[in-house]
Each structure stands twice: as structure tokens, then as C-alpha cells.
A and B are shown apart, each in its own frame.
Chain A
């Protein structure tokens, strides 16, 4: 079974803190993604990576950065957390090719107070 694991299910952080969300996949997938999901707004892509040390901005990259030093690990960084970054964060991975689906981690519910 493909496994995508996020480091925390729930996090509470203070405004201005630097926040790290970690994601690890065990299927040697090329592509990894970070989304946030808010009611009524669906899945919004923050950043994705198609190779080690490669990254591309998604639809809402402002206030976030990412790191992919190893193929299996993709980290999302909130440089200075703000209350409008309170959300569900979902990591996903997929193999190359047109037909390959994405597999999701269990999600991290982040609250910034």
C-alpha cells in the first residue's frame, strides 16, 4: 500500500511563528504536492515538486516556502504564521505519467492563534 505520512494531525501555533509541516512518501514517487483545503474553496495548490531540489509555485504560494532535499520528503514552511493560514493542509504524491493518481496524507489541521 502506498503510504503518505504527515508529521502531525493537529497543530496550534502562534502568530509570527515559523511552522514546519513534514510529509514523507514511501513509493518512490517523483511528484509531491502541498494543498490547503478550506470550506467552499476546495483543494488549492500551494507548491509542488517534480524532483529533488525542484519546486514550482502553485496557485497560492504567498506566505509559504517548500523544501525537497530527498525524494521521499517534502516540507512546507510557513515563514511567519498568520491567522489566515489556519486551515487543513494536505500533502500528496504521485508517480510520473498521465494515468497515475495522487495519494494523500491524512492531513494536518493547523490553527494559528
Chain B
């Protein structure tokens, strides 16, 4: 089982829809989590960090559920420009906290 798992999708949604992605992690000692966005043939860029229960930034909300060991990303009022791959990452525990453990990504296509 991979340490960080995501549903690869693709998720195809109409403009204006609300879409949610989940990401599960296996290391219960992971302390911090991140959602990145990656456009086709570009580098990943940070979308949101999640340290405690959750974080909100405009149309984007990230939540952490430690009991069930998953984080989620909710996108409200989807725009065409939200089409991308969304990568989830977890940072290791104190003994190995320098590197991020990555999911394979979830592909989102927002359609007109």
C-alpha cells in the first residue's frame, strides 16, 4: 500500500460545480499536509497547506481528519482554469520530516 493515496480520476465536472478530492495517508505520525496544483507539462505549485483541522482560501477548502487519516480538498464554483492535476503530500514525522511523501495526483477537468 502506498503511503499517500489519491483517486486518480479523471473528475469531469461542469463549470460552477462543487468537487471534492480525498487523499489518505498511512503514517499516523505525519504532521503536516499540502495540496499542490500541477498544470500540464509544468511544475507543481503549492495550493494550500493543512496543519490542524483545516484551511480555507476563497473557493478552496482543505480539511484534515486525523482519526481516519485523510485530507480533503473542496473546490466550490469550479472554473475552467481549475482544470489541472491536484497532488497531495504529507510530511514525515520528527525523525524523517525533511521530505514530502506524494500521492500520484487527481486529474480534474472542468467543462464549459
A102 to B89, CA, bound (A): 10
Verify if B31 is at the interface (C-beta below 8 Å from A). Answer: yes
Query: Which A residues have a C-beta under 8 Å from some C-beta of B?
Result: 30-31, 33, 40-43, 45, 48, 50, 58, 88, 90, 94, 96-99, 101-107, 109
B43 near A50 with CB under 8 A, answer no
With A98-B32, A101-B34 in contact, do A43 and B87 touch (Cβ < 8 Å)?
A: yes
B46 near A101 with CB under 8 A, answer yes
Residues of A within 8 Å of B45, CB to CB, are 104
Residues of B within 8 Å of A107, CB to CB, are 41-43
A106 near B99 with CB under 8 A, answer no
Chain B nearest Cβ from A91, distance in angstroms: 9
Residues of A within 8 Å of B104, CB to CB, are 40-42
Pick from B31, B43, B99, B105: contact of A33, CB below 8 A: B99
A31 to B91, CA, bound (A): 13
B98 near A31 with CB under 8 A, answer yes
